[in-house]
């Protein structure tokens, strides 16, 4: 392939397709590409028109694709902001729920300690309290609460970052 094949490649056509557009045979186009023959005048004019159109289309596509990419990025970031809002609300609800469970576990432990320390006039304990352990203990709820608060803080930072990026793109 010689330097003339670059014209065909810039159009994105095969030899057969370009020859059909120029109304010449494929061997004539092949000889033109290798530099052994020149194109007929009508084919040369069509080739220059096609190349001019392809060149202007490239600049138009670059300008449009830049706008399209920017619009797509804005939409993507807006979706991320909505997802972040949803996650922050979910984490807030989980934090409130975990705080309630932790408070309940603390009250239960305090009551259990009180019942164990007091003798009810020879009666056995009126309420059989089991020691809280595992996932229902105050410590477990405290750990879960710390994890959720950390997640909430990270989501807040993510929201700040996304808002800054969105503002940067919309300027």
SS3 label, residue 120: strand
Taking only Cα atoms into account, the Rg of the chain, rounded to an integer number of angstroms, comes to 37
Residue 87: Cβ within 10 Å count: 16
Cβ of 67: how many Cβ atoms within 10 Å?
10
Please give the pLDDT value at position 27.
93
CA 70/CA 62 separation, integer angstroms? 12
When mean pLDDT is compared across 28-32, 37-41, 127-131, 167-171, the lowest value belongs to: 127-131
Neighbours of 170 (CB within 10 A): 9
Is the pTM higher than 0.75? The answer reads no
Q: Which two tokens stand for residue 105?
A: 């576990």
């Amino acid at each position: 392939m010689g330097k003339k094949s670059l014209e065909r490649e810039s159009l994105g056509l095969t030899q057969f397709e370009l020859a059909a557009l120029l109304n010449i045979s494929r061997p004539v186009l092949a000889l033109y590409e290798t530099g052994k023959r020149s194109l007929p005048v009508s084919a040369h004019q069509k080739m220059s028109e096609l190349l001019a159109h392809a060149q202007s289309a490239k600049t138009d596509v670059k300008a449009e694709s830049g706008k399209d990419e920017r619009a797509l990025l804005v939409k993507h970031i807006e979706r991320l902001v909505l997802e972040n809002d949803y996650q922050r609300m979910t984490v807030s609800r989980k934090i409130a729920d975990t705080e309630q469970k932790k408070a309940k576990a603390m009250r239960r432990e305090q009551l259990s300690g009180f019942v164990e320390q007091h003798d009810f006039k020879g009666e056995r304990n009126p309420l059989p309290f089991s020691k809280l352990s595992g996932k229902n203990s105050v410590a477990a709820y405290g750990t879960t609460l710390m994890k959720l608060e950390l997640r909430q803080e990270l989501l807040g930072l993510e929201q700040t970052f996304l808002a800054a990026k969105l503002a940067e793109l919309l300027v």
